[in-house]
Amino acid sequence: MQKQKTLSERPVHIGFGSLKGGVGKSSIAEILASYLYYREGLNLFVVDCDFSQYSFANLRERDKETVQNGRPALLSRMKKHFEAFGKPAYRIIKSTSGQAMQDVQTFMEARSEETFDLVFFDLPGRADDPDLVSLTVDMDYLISPIEPDRQSLVACMSYALAVRDLGVSITSGNIKQIYMLWNKIDRRVHPAVIEFYDREIEKEGLGLFDTRLPRSSRFKKEITTDNREVFRSTYLPPDKSLLEGSGIAALAGEIIEKCLLKPKRHAHD
C-alpha cells in the first residue's frame, strides 16, 4: 500500500462552506470547478460531502440524463467538446464529512500516475455534523459566500470566525486562510454597506475576494436537451456569451493567484 502524500505533495484542498442556506455555496463551487478544469486546465476532482442535498452529485446526474435524452445538436456539441479537451469529465465523489479524507486518499492511490492540482469539497451546511470541524480545518483554504443581508452576514461571519479559531487551536489543522466572497449583489445594495463589512472582515483577519458576484439568473442555466446556453454544468464550462459581467473569470483568476495554482493555458476553449 502506498503511503499517504505529504502536505507538500498533496493537491490544494479548497472547501466551500456556510451554515447559512441559500447563499449560493454549491452553485458557485459547481461553476468554478468546470471553469478551472475545462478552461484553465487544472486537474481536479470534487468531493461532495453535503449530504443534506448532494447538489454536485445531483447536478452530474441531471447532466447525464439530459445528454442521454439530448437532440443531435447537443450530442454533437458534447462529442466535439470532449474530443478537443482530450480528457473525460472530472470525477465527483459522493461522500460524508467523516469519510471524505479517506475517500480522497483511496481515489488518489488508485491513480498514482496522475497528478492532481486541486480538490474541491462541498461541505455540509449543518452545525450538528460531528465530523465537520475536523474536515473543515483539514482544508488548505475555505471559501464562504456572503450576501448583503444582515441576518445572513451575522451567520456567515460567526461561522468563519469559529473555523478560524478552531484552525488556530487544532495543531493538526492545515487551514491557511478563510476567504469571504460577496454573492448576489444587485443595484439595491448600497456600496457603504459592503464597505462597512469589508472593513469588519479585514479587522478580523479574514480574507476577502475583490470579485463580487452579481445576482443573476444565468447562474441557474443548466444543460438543456435542445442545446441552449449553459452556465452551470459538470460537463461544460460556462458559455463565453454568459461570462461577461458574471465575475466568474475574475474570481477564478483570484483563486489561482491566492491559492498558488498553476493553470495550463492550453486547455480547451
Rounded mean pLDDT, 43-51: 96
245 in any annotated domain: yes
| In-domain check, residue 67 | yes
Q: Where do we find the cell 480547451?
A: 268
In a domain, 98, yes or no: yes
Exposure string over 74-98, b if 16+ CB within 10 A, otherwise e? beebbeeebeebeeebbebbbbbbe
Model confidence at 2: pLDDT above 50: no
More confident residue, 184 or 149: 184
pLDDT score of 150 more than 90: no
Query: Over pLDDT 90: what percentage of the chain?
Result: 72
The three state secondary structure string of the chain is: CCCCCCCCCCCEEEEECCCCCCCCHHHHHHHHHHHHHHHCCCCEEEEECCCCCCHHHHHHHHHHHHHHCCCHHHHHHHHHHHHHHCCCCCCEEECCCCCHHHHHHHHHHCCCCCCCCEEEEECCCCCCCCCHHHHHCCCCEEEEEECCCHHHHHHHHHHHHHHHHHHHHCCCCCCCEEEEEEEEECCCCCHHHHHHHHHHHHHCCCEEEEEEEECCHHHHCCCCCCCCCCCCCCCCCCCHHHHCCCCHHHHHHHHHHHCCCCCCCCCCC
Average pLDDT taken over every residue of the chain: 91
Q: Quick count: other Cβ atoms within 10 Å of Cβ 204?
A: 13
User: Has residue 266 been placed in a domain?
Assistant: no
4 in a structural domain? no
Q: Per the domain annotation, does 7 fall within a domain?
A: no
At residue 171, the pLDDT reads 65
Tell me which of 268 and 84 has the higher pLDDT.
84
pLDDT at 98: 96
pLDDT at 75 over 90: yes
Lowest mean pLDDT among 1-15, 25-39, 85-99: 1-15
Closest C-alpha to 95, from 141, 131, 143, 133? 131
> Residue 1: pLDDT band by 50, 70, 90 thresholds?
very low
pLDDT-based confidence at 249, cuts 50/70/90? Answer: very high
User: How large is the average pLDDT for residues 78-95?
Assistant: 97
Q: Please give the pLDDT value at position 151.
A: 82
Domain assignment of residue 5, yes or no:
no
Q: What pLDDT shows up at residue 29?
A: 97
For residue 179, pLDDT over 50 is answered with yes
Domain extent for 221: 12-258
- Taking residues 73-93, report their average pLDDT: 97
Q: Is the pLDDT score of 3 beyond 50?
A: no
Domain containing residue 102: CATH number:
3.40.50.300
On the question of pLDDT at 83 being above 50, the answer is yes
Question: C-alpha cell of 170?
Answer: 487544532
State how many domains the chain has. Answer: 1
The cell 481515489 sits on which residue? 107
Rounded to whole angstroms, the Cα distance separating 65 from 216 reads 25
Dist CA 81 CA 229 (whole Å): 14
Query: Does residue 226 belong to any structural domain of this protein?
Result: yes
pLDDT > 70 in the chain, percent = 93
